[in-house]
Amino acid sequence: MFCRLFNSHNKVTNFRKLFVKCVNDNIQRPYSSITHKENEVELGDSTLAAPNFAASLKTRSRQERLREDRILPFSSFLTDNFGRRHTYLRISLTEKCNLRCQYCMPEEGIKLTPRGQLLSTSEVLTLARLFVQEGVDKIRLTGGEPLIRPDVVDIIAELRKLEGLKTIAVTTNGMNLARLLPKLKDAGLDLINISLDSLVPAKFEFIVRRKGFHKVMEGIDMAIEMGYNPVKVNCVVMRGLNEDELLDFVALTEKKPLEVRFIEYMPFDGNKWNFKKMVSYQEMLDHIRQQWPKLEMLQTGHTDTAKTFKVEGFKDGSLKVCLFGNSEVSLRDVLRSGASDEELLQIIGAAVGRKKKQHAGMFSISQMKNRPMILIEAQLTHTDAQGRATMVDVGGKVPTRRTAAARAIVILGPTAFRLLRDNQLVKGDALAVAQLAGIMASKQTSALIPLCHPLPLDHISVTFDLDELQNATVITATCSTTGRTGVEMEALTAASVAALTLYDMCKAVSHDIIITDIKLVRKIGGKRDFHRHP
């Protein structure tokens, strides 16, 4: 399967809710990991910042419901007011994670919830047993990163003993997967979702702020070798970062039994929405169809939020809209109060009964409490005669080929320069990360500098020359476009951000680093050319 695209939400300030909801689903990453045949309702505790039990229930299709009506009555506690049966439960085992993804959590991590506020193993199994008795037949274990919980294998083994539970799944970042997979499979793990946002090792390292690309790929290959089919790979697509890898991910599935699930990233910056970073489902689909124009959309059930596609010669995949809601309830607190199974079921039934007929769209979601939409700013490029901001109209200009190059120098000092040159910095390959940062920044120039027109860039390059005499790195950024205005700012932004990235990668060695001589080197196209003399 090649594509399962999700509409997900990047949580920043509220990502430690008890039942975490979408991209960065439970901090593990920014996606939901549910299958396309089910809808989701979430139960959580809005009063506690501990993702210790994320419960998400799903519904069966009408055909399945009618078929089962002839066999066994379904639990009224897990049936909502619209007759939908919720049979899929997600349990967050931990809030800890061994990665620090850019869109998920700060580099220094988070303040962890006291251990006593987390569900114990026995509490996890007690609640799982109760849900399975009422009709849940699939449980997914999430996090944080669930595979760093020491007793995860034991939990899976105990879940496997529950009569009526058909499927046990896990969503993981893959860092520990190869080491644990033989034990997980023996314990009874049925399905695996692995997060992977880039196929480029340096870009992967930049996104997650840790090394480990080859560990994740080893885990994916081992899962295939051990018979998991399909192995599901979750990829959050972000503008300016990895949208150029869509086709590479699709191509992976031609020869490997992978289901790549592209997730529509919903940026969540500083508790405010920023739609500029979002690559829409339609844009992804259009891009894929340029390579595979005969991409076929397959028929799905009327309750499905996923959209399933097939490429000739490939396996089919799907696109899914992630679900979102504000209602939450703490089963942990009720369980610890000594409540009986019947009392727990009454609370579960009340929460399921509050489930709405359909979930809010992304614009409604962004306006929910604690989730204000970012103000959509005007494109301020110049001021008029009265000093008021106004945008210059370039619509009358003829599009021409335009190129600009900018330069910056980073004086590192002898120790940092030597480590950079020899690629021995603790943080990794600084030049590769700085190159990636410069390219990404040039694409975001109009978002970073409000007086710039947004431009489609035809080409971007960021190169480095190492100056042994000055212990310095000379950065040259070149940008090209076919448009009505120049790309000087894009080139300058690329050079500047690449320089800042080098500073960040080297500052642990020395803070005596100087960024200097940022300048435009040349500009070609437009009214007049410009060449700076050496």
What is the set of active-site residues? Answer: 504
CB neighbour class for 97 (10 Å; exposed up to 12, middle 13-18, buried from 19): buried
Number of H helices, E strands in the chain: 15, 21
Residue 267 and residue 273 in contact, taking contact as beta carbons nearer than 8 Å? yes
**Which tokens in the block code for residue 122?**
């026995």
Helix 201-208 with 430-443: angle, nearest 10 deg: 80
3-state class of 459 per DSSP? strand
3-state class of 434 per DSSP? helix
How far apart (Å, rounded) are the C-alpha atoms in residues 245 and 243? 5
3-state class of 133 per DSSP? helix
Cα 328 → chain centroid: 23
| Amino acid, res. 147 | L
How far apart (Å, rounded) are the C-alpha atoms in residues 92 and 90? 7
15 phi and psi, to 5 degrees? -75, 0
In sign, the C-alpha dihedral spanning 118, 120, 126, 128 is positive
Q: Is 494 left (phi over 0), alpha (psi -120 to 50) or beta?
A: alpha
Residue 207 and residue 101 in contact, taking contact as beta carbons nearer than 8 Å? yes
How far apart (Å, rounded) are the C-alpha atoms in residues 287 and 520? 34
- The position carrying tokens 């500073």 is 503
Half-sphere exposure of 485 (CA within 13 A, CB side): 17
